[in-house]
Structure 1
């Protein structure tokens, strides 16, 4: 057995394959790679997730950080909330004061409207026409479109109000045009009629067709819609006649303007402007009447509903009730007198 235990490469005559430098270099690199595997412990990683090689493990031992004990009584304090951001530096005290004044003004306006709504129509004071306090004539109507009229109808009511104002303006210009004609033709009749038209048509148009349509949109009244359509149709007819301008009719219409151009160009221009105003009024009247009629049909109103409202309003009228009571009492007294006579 000693022969087998001897180193077969001890004989110098035999080449030793492990003496080759290339083989020794590979052996050294293999030993360095396996040295870490011999010291590697897979149970050192407590996280159970990412495992690192022993060469990547920290050389210092792990030290547990001390945890502060909970406060006495088992109560924990809530962390402080983050502080709100400070206003920008360019926001001055004057800006704060101005915004505060705007908010106070809006609050007063809302309080006023709320008080008016709570008070009702009985507690309201008439505010139209807007006359000064020293005037002996007081306002006759209460009008506030923002309070009385629903929001979806406020625009059309404002347009009707502006249309009435435009009619009044054209009638006032008609007086100026008739005055210029009076200086040229020495005829006083057109000037007198123009003043009469302004005095009569301005308040009558407000009472007869603007107030009914205002009340119609305020309370959804079919009867007031019917009154508006009936009176406003006459308004359109009168405006058409005034835009034509018959001779001696008191209105500066188309015919009057043509005659005025033959006499004096300046007077012709004045009367032509009045004619354009009348024609514009007719066009606006037709457009707004069509729009109001469309709204009227969309609300489901009808002639039967208007008749029912008219009957109800007549029966609720105090003067009508008094007259009916007086008539009934007179009839009963007459029957009693006839019975006593026989």
Structure 2
């Protein structure tokens, strides 16, 4: 019966493979190593990072950004200053060259012979200086100024008036004064400004011309009227001489006619210049800017202002010492 009690499917030897000595040694060693392994070892070395150190990093970053912004602003300001100095240097260079060119151009007006001791004082060239669209109006203004010769005829008429009436000696004297005074003053005060205005499109020259030429028109009207004892051979003075001396009256009427033509032409040309002025884009603001820049950059004005300031400072210092 013992033979039937045994299990035919059982292994003849009940062996546990995990009981093998080599396997047991390997598994025990692995367990020990796993227990000793620390994945966080060596990272922070057991030290913690304080919160203050972590929170201080953005402040350092912000400070560095502010410093970089200040450096960029300083660099931009330095660049602007450098550009401004460069522009000022170029402007001074252009002004110097313009002065050299103007110095190189010989004055040609008034046209005097070479042997004359008096030399020309101004340079004038319509073809070179004046734009083509302003040639006609500028030449007409020049011809109007040439009509200043009427003042010389006025001197002759007043001389004839004086010979016919001894009481009119005042008119003859004033006629000489007007001829000597108005001839250069009219050229400098209203003809040259309008010439410069058309040459360089200067708003200040335009406004200066309009201001002075308005008085010139008024003078032409007064000369045309011919108020006695004012040194003008106008219509009133000429008509008053008809009964005294007809020949003198005719001479004076001719001069009065020239004064009338001058007055009419001056009004017409004033309107023409004003119409040209409106097309140039000139304005009172530009005139102020040109005047300010011209005064501030004028060396004579700067020298005078410096001298006046120095004298005032010395006077104040002297008074303080006396006190």
How far apart in 1 are the matches of 2:264 and 2:206? Answer: 20
Match of 2:169 among 188, 207, 221: 188
Describe the superposition over 1:144-184 as per-residue Cα deviations: whole angstroms up to 9, x where unpaired.
11111111111111000000001x22111111111111111
Are 2:109 and 1:128 aligned? yes
Are 2:201 and 1:234 aligned? no
Partner of 2:266: 285
Gaps of 5+ in 1: 1-116
How far apart in 2 are the matches of 1:193 and 1:146? Answer: 38
Partner of 1:40: none
How far apart in 1 are the matches of 2:152 and 2:164? Answer: 19
Partner of 2:156: 176
The alpha-carbon distance between structure 1 residues 176 and 334, as it changes in their structure 2 partners (threshold 3 A), is: closer
Are 2:206 and 1:219 aligned? no
How far apart in 2 are the matches of 1:207 and 1:309? Answer: 19
Matched positions, count: 225
Q: Give the superposed CA RMSD.
A: 2.4
How far apart in 2 are the matches of 1:119 and 1:145? Answer: 20
Runs of at least 4 residues off by over 4 Å: 327-342
1:324 Cα deviation from its structure 2 partner: 2.9
The alpha-carbon distance between structure 1 residues 320 and 266, as it changes in their structure 2 partners (threshold 3 A), is: same
Partner of 2:280: 299
The alpha-carbon distance between structure 1 residues 330 and 251, as it changes in their structure 2 partners (threshold 3 A), is: closer
How far apart in 1 are the matches of 2:297 and 2:158? Answer: 47
The alpha-carbon distance between structure 1 residues 119 and 184, as it changes in their structure 2 partners (threshold 3 A), is: same
Please show how residues 250-265 of structure 1 align to structure 2 within 5 Å: 250-265=231-246
TM-score by length of 1: 0.61
1:267 Cα deviation from its structure 2 partner: 1.2
Describe the superposition over 1:180-203 as per-residue Cα deviations: whole angstroms up to 9, x where unpaired.
111111232211111111100111
The alpha-carbon distance between structure 1 residues 340 and 127, as it changes in their structure 2 partners (threshold 3 A), is: same
How far apart in 1 are the matches of 2:322 and 2:177? Answer: 58
Please show how residues 89-128 of structure 1 align to structure 2 within 5 Å: 120-128=101-109
The alpha-carbon distance between structure 1 residues 146 and 250, as it changes in their structure 2 partners (threshold 3 A), is: same
Partner of 1:42: none
Gaps of 5+ in 2: 1-97
How far apart in 2 are the matches of 1:259 and 1:171? Answer: 20
SS of the aligned residue for 1:272 comes to helix
Describe the superposition over 1:217-249 as per-residue Cα deviations: whole angstroms up to 9, x where unpaired.
111100011110010001011111111111121
Question: Which structure would you say has the larger RCO, counting Cα contacts within 8 Å and 6 or more residues apart?
Answer: 2
The alpha-carbon distance between structure 1 residues 340 and 279, as it changes in their structure 2 partners (threshold 3 A), is: closer
SS of the aligned residue for 1:234 comes to helix
The alpha-carbon distance between structure 1 residues 335 and 240, as it changes in their structure 2 partners (threshold 3 A), is: closer
The alpha-carbon distance between structure 1 residues 260 and 324, as it changes in their structure 2 partners (threshold 3 A), is: same
How far apart in 1 are the matches of 2:212 and 2:242? Answer: 35
How far apart in 2 are the matches of 1:118 and 1:251? Answer: 42
How far apart in 2 are the matches of 1:331 and 1:190? Answer: 48
How far apart in 1 are the matches of 2:317 and 2:269? Answer: 58
Please show how residues 1-342 of structure 1 align to structure 2 within 5 Å: 120-166=101-147, 168-186=148-166, 187-329=168-310
How far apart in 2 are the matches of 1:118 and 1:327? Answer: 27
The alpha-carbon distance between structure 1 residues 326 and 188, as it changes in their structure 2 partners (threshold 3 A), is: closer
User: Higher helix fraction: Structure 1 or Structure 2?
Assistant: 2
Describe the superposition over 1:264-317 as per-residue Cα deviations: whole angstroms up to 9, x where unpaired.
221111111111101100100000000101111111111111011000000111
